[in-house]
Amino acid sequence: MAILEVKNISAGYGDLTAVSDLSFKVEEGELFALVGANGAGKSTLLKTIAGSIRAVNGSITFKGQDVTKDPDFKRSQDGIALVPEGRRLFHSLSVEENLLVGAGTNRKGPWNLKSVYGLLPILEKLKDRNSARLSGGEQQAVAIGRALMSNPDLILLDEVSLGLAPIIVEQIYTSFPDIRKQGLSIILVEQDLKRTLGVADRIGCMLEGHLLLEGTPANLTHQQITDAYFGHSVQSFDNAPSAGGAQ
Ligand code: ATP
């Protein structure tokens, strides 16, 4: 069953339409990855799903309920958590205090300080440190931990590995199977195509606000994805050979 259904969504900033008439579904427990060049509209789409930007047209259905007109805090209480690009921590608060902000939804579930520290041990070591005094990777770990503390059903991860040391990216990706064991659905925006193909159940490729291509890593070729990424003409992807050789 689909946990999220986005139908004919358009959204943007003033006169600029960044997401245009876009539709897709995410199934329960699925990891759906969104790829696309800079400015394709991926972050705008995530913000529209989380409710920090209002859709101009279309509808968003979450767990069978129409949430299109709900504000972001209501969607967060309903179980949608966004880890935004740029992290957005409360810099006057410690790591642990930032994590506790996530728990403000009062949703029941497997995630609490103990389980988040178990998943990302670096956070326990840093729990009393002011979050302004963290490296980029440490801040990213706090942002993920804070989102988990809200015990979401759907987590939206916007370029969580951007600008991070490879070892921290590895730690974040290594934590995905444990996060997914809890039945969480994930939408992941990621620049690294090879990494994306390794973890995604399905991939959507965005170009200029449209979802140009959608499929599983097994039925999309690397060529089809890069064509969609850069806006070259896209061939049909039914019965396409495996993308196993994608770099
Ligand atoms: P990136 O990979 O660079 O983050 P993206 O695919 O996430 O790109 P968006 O950030 O959604 O793309 O941007 C889509 C379009 O909206 C771009 O043309 C961008 O310049 C514009 N845009 C993004 N944020 C704003 C904003 N706050 N105000 C005005 N325009 C914006």
Provide the pLDDT for residue 246: 34
Provide the pLDDT for residue 71: 96
44, 56, 162, best to mutate for ligand 1 pocket (most atoms within 8 Å of CB):
44
CB of 40 sitting under 6 A from ligand 1: yes
> Looking at ligand 1, which residue's alpha carbon is closest to its atom 25?
13
Provide the pLDDT for residue 233: 56
Provide the pLDDT for residue 2: 93
DSSP of 140-176, one letter per residue?
Answer: HHHHHHHHHHT--SEEEEESTTTT--HHHHHHHHHTH
Residue 23 structure tokens: 């539709």
> Looking at ligand 1, which residue's alpha carbon is closest to its atom 9?
41
9, 10, 13, best to mutate for ligand 1 pocket (most atoms within 8 Å of CB):
13
Q: What is the 3-state secondary structure (H, E, C) of 176-204?
A: HHHHHHCCCEEEEECCCHHHHHHHCCEEE
How would you classify the pairing of strands 80-83 and 65-66? unpaired
Q: Which residues of the chain have pLDDT under 50?
A: 235-247
Provide the pLDDT for residue 15: 92
Provide the pLDDT for residue 146: 93
CA angle 139-145-151, nearest 5°? 150
Distances (CA, A) of 40 to 70, 176, 191: 25, 25, 12
Q: Which domains does the chain have, with CATH numbers?
A: 2-237 (3.40.50.300)
